[in-house]
Amino acid sequence: MTELQQGGDIRKVTLGQLASHTSGLHRVPQQYESWHRGQYSLPDFIRYLNAWKADEGHEPGKQDTYSNTGFVLLALALQRRFDMPYAKLLEQRVLAPLGMTSTAMPVPGPNARGRIAPALRQRAVQGYAVDGHPMGEPGNEQGTFNWPGTGQMYSSARDMAVFLAANLGALPNNRPLQDAMAFAQQGVFTVNPRFTQALGWQIVRNDDLTIVDKNGGLNNTSTYIGMIPQKRLGIVILGNRGKEPGTRIGRQIMLALARSNVAASDEGQNGD
């Protein structure tokens, strides 16, 4: 990005590091907390990146640091590379090929926040805060940053099942996309013997089973998608309340199913 050519340490960061949470960039820009929510703009973000200093605990490629900042920068880089808004790029490269017609990234409204199209908005559910109070309007985008391509997306259980099946290799009608999904699941940074960071995905080893998963959420939603590729098994959890334990629940369900399948298989082989 031309705006970052005047920067210092940010010029050492690679696209692969952004995609694997190893860039060293903080979860959100350090000065973000001093701003009122929803007022942190793209020019503010660029100024932060150019001034960013990689201290000992945040060196590019040296550690695993979950970073929303890094993925927002990655989205900006992809927009520049393909000269296309991120929402349109996502639609062209992923959603349309998979037939995910109920998945959308809201388009910007007057205040830069996005709203999904009326037909989808009628199907959007109300989101709730952790205390059970409504948070935002159905279909009105929430998010940390305040410019297009940085807020929450909307999807349906059916669409996410299609996305899950594609990541498990069950939809082989688009080889380039299938290959890209398989590539993204390969580990690139070992955090410890049980946890490896992939491109967006995280890889967790539980005895003889390997889980590939990712959670997400804002103050009005909790989501989880996970799979055990060796068992061709996966699960999607879509919750409309903040800070729910989707990861723990999803992993417990998958592990229970995977091990029950193993037990059933063993019994069948033994003739029981």
Summarize the confidence of residues 177-196 as an average pLDDT: 96
**Residue 113 contacts residue 140 (beta carbons within 8 Å):** yes
- Can you tell me the distance from the alpha carbon of 68 to that of 2, in angstroms, rounded to the nearest whole number? 21
State percent of the chain over pLDDT 90: 71
pLDDT at 109: 64
- Can you tell me the distance from the alpha carbon of 69 to that of 24, in angstroms, rounded to the nearest whole number? 10
pLDDT at 5: 87
**Residue 129 contacts residue 242 (beta carbons within 8 Å):** yes
Give me Rg for the CA atoms of the chain.
20
pLDDT at 33: 57
Summarize the confidence of residues 224-252 as an average pLDDT: 96
Cβ atoms within 10 A of the Cβ of 53, count? 9
pLDDT at 236: 98
pLDDT tens per residue, range 125-149: 999 999 999 998 888 888 778 787 7
pLDDT at 68 over 70: yes
190, β-bridge pairs:
196
Residue 272: pLDDT band (50, 70, 90) is very low
pLDDT at 232: 94
pLDDT at 59 over 90: yes
Q: What is the pTM of this model?
A: 0.90
Distances from the Cα of 266 to the Cα of 43, 154, 235, 254, 259, angstroms = 60, 41, 24, 18, 10
223, β-bridge pairs:
216, 238
From 191, 188, 176, 180, select the one nearest 16 (Cα to Cα): 188
pLDDT tens per residue, range 17-56: 999 999 999 998 876 555 555 567 888 899 999 999 999 8
Chain-wide mean pLDDT for the chain?
89
Q: Please state which of the ranges 29-33, 58-62, 108-112, 177-181 shows the lowest mean pLDDT.
A: 108-112
Q: Please state which of the ranges 37-51, 162-176, 228-242 shows the lowest mean pLDDT.
A: 37-51
pLDDT at 271 over 50: no
pLDDT at 149: 79
